[in-house]
Structure formats: C-alpha cells, structure tokens
Amino acid sequence: MPFRVARLGPTLAGLLLLAVGAAGADTGDIRDGKVVYERWCVTCHGAEGNGQGEAAKYMSTKPRDYREGTFKWRTTPSGSLPLDSDLEHTLLNGVYGTYMPTWGFLGERSRQDVIAYIKTFAPRFASEKPQAPIIIPPEPGYSDESVKRGSAIYQKYNCSQCHGDGGRGDGPSAHDLKDDWGNDIVPYDLTKGHVKCGDTATDIYRVFMTGLSGTPMPTFADSMDPTDAWDLVHFIESLSPRYAKNFARTAANSTARANP
C-alpha cells in the first residue's frame, strides 16, 4: 500500500489517505480498481456507477446502482452498508438468474481494488461504517420434523403474502412491488432450487434475517428466533430437490467466503 500511494500525485495521495482513513480497513487501490471497473463492469454498471451502462436497458433485473450504498446481499443488518467481504462474495458467486457472472478469474487483488473503487460512488462509505454482521448460530440437522415445523413458520410469518402458498412467488402482494429505483420486482420463486444470494443453507437463512436492501424483502430478525429460522430454511429446501444437490456442490467447492 505505501508503495502504491507513493506513485500518486501528492495532493491526490493525501485525499486518498483521508478517504481510506475515514472508511476504515480498505485494502484495495482505488486507481487500480478504476482500471478493472472500466474494463469489466462499466458496460452494465455505467461509468458513474449508476447502474445505467450501455447494456442495462436490455436487462430485466437491473445492474446495481452503487450511489446510495444499497446492496441486497450483506451479512449486515437491514439498511446497513455491506462489508467488503460481502461485496467480494457477490463477485465470487455472481447472482444466479441475472446477468451478473462470477468474477473469480480476476484474482483477489483486482477484486479488492474494484471493491475500493465501487465504494467511491457512494458517499455513505466515507461517512459511515457498516454495522456488525448478524450472528448465525450453527445449523441444526435437517430432518422431516424440522421441515414440518418450518412449514408452520412459513404460514405463521405470512411469507405467502408475497411468495404464495406453494412458494412460487405468486402471493396476493406479488404484483405491485417496486424496488428503490421504481423498477418492477417480483418475489422469488422458491421452488426453483437456486437462491440468487448463494446456494448454502446459511445463505437462505441470511436472506430473511438481513432482508434484501433496496427491495420489498424485509428483515425478520426482529420477529423470528434462530431456531424457527433454521426450520424455515429446511422448509424452503424441501420445496425443490435441486437445493440438496446445489448444497452438495457448494460444500464440495466450499471456500471460507461462501459461508463466513
């Protein structure tokens, strides 16, 4: 890092140090990240980070607009900024069912650099710190009893209001939903056997305990206890045989990041 800063003009380097100091434990290099961004990310996410790159108009799930620091996939509570490791999780896993691919080939250094650059689009990253990640207790074993309890939790918490009685994303509130940008957005069809935010049981748990910021999906962390939440995860898994297969695949390729 000292070597890299020294390459910059003294004024800009001073400003960079100021920004890095304010934002906390940044490890990426913003200037190098800009190069990565403008080669690989700009076509969809736009030169100004507004999610309005040239290709965006052809996409139904719009590329992320970075300017408000709002991210769906986080380990942090509803409304919080994400951790750098959360953004890297999305880079490594891509977003299933959208145009966002995986960026493993970039290598860790370039991922850190581009994360540092992406964060410059949202002033919030300089003035505010992410909250601590939610605590996820270890998963109790999957069992038919747990699935049955989870089915009752699904009813009790009215998940069907949006996701429908059978989890197909066709509940009574499914048709009038908008995201923060005013785009139409639909509740996920849980019977697909893939979840956008990662394919581990922990990823599913995290979706409803953190909520997906910028979307209608709220956090249930204030109303649901962890035991009930794990039962709900197991019920969602029971909606498609593909989950079990995906989980097995993920476990075989597991990295520390896939399940932090």
Residues near another protein, by CB under 8 A: 11-12, 15-16, 18-19, 22-23, 30, 34, 47-50, 67-70, 77-79, 120-123, 125-128, 156-159, 161-162, 172-173, 176-178, 180-182, 211, 213-220, 222-224
- Residue 55 · residue 102 · CB < 8 Å: no
Q: How far is the CB of 249 from another protein (least distance, A)?
A: 31
Q: How far is the CB of 113 from another protein (least distance, A)?
A: 14
The letter for the amino acid at 59 is M
Q: How far is the CB of 53 from another protein (least distance, A)?
A: 13
Could you give phi then psi for residue 122, rounded to 5 degrees? -115, 110
Q: How far is the CB of 154 from another protein (least distance, A)?
A: 11
The SS3 call for residue 53 is coil
Which tokens in the block code for residue 138? 């270890």
Residue whose CB is less far from another protein, 73 or 199:
73
Q: How far is the CB of 38 from another protein (least distance, A)?
A: 9
Residue whose CB is less far from another protein, 142 or 157:
157
Residue whose CB is less far from another protein, 136 or 217:
217
Burial of 128 (0-12, 13-18, 19+ CB in 10 A): middle
Residue whose CB is less far from another protein, 109 or 156:
156
185-217 exposure pattern, b = at least 16 Cβ within 10 A, e = fewer? bebbbbbbbebbbbbbbbbbbbbbbbbbbbbbb
21: DSSP letter: H
Q: How far is CA 93 from the centre of its chain?
A: 10
Q: How far is the CB of 119 from another protein (least distance, A)?
A: 10
- Please give the Cα distance from 48 to 171 (Å, whole number): 37
Residue whose CB is less far from another protein, 187 or 198:
187
The SS3 call for residue 242 is helix
Residue whose CB is less far from another protein, 5 or 47:
47
The letter for the amino acid at 30 is I
Residue whose CB is less far from another protein, 213 or 238:
213
Residue whose C-alpha is closest to residue 201's, from 166, 159, 243:
243
Q: How far is the CB of 176 from another protein (least distance, A)?
A: 4
The SS3 call for residue 184 is strand
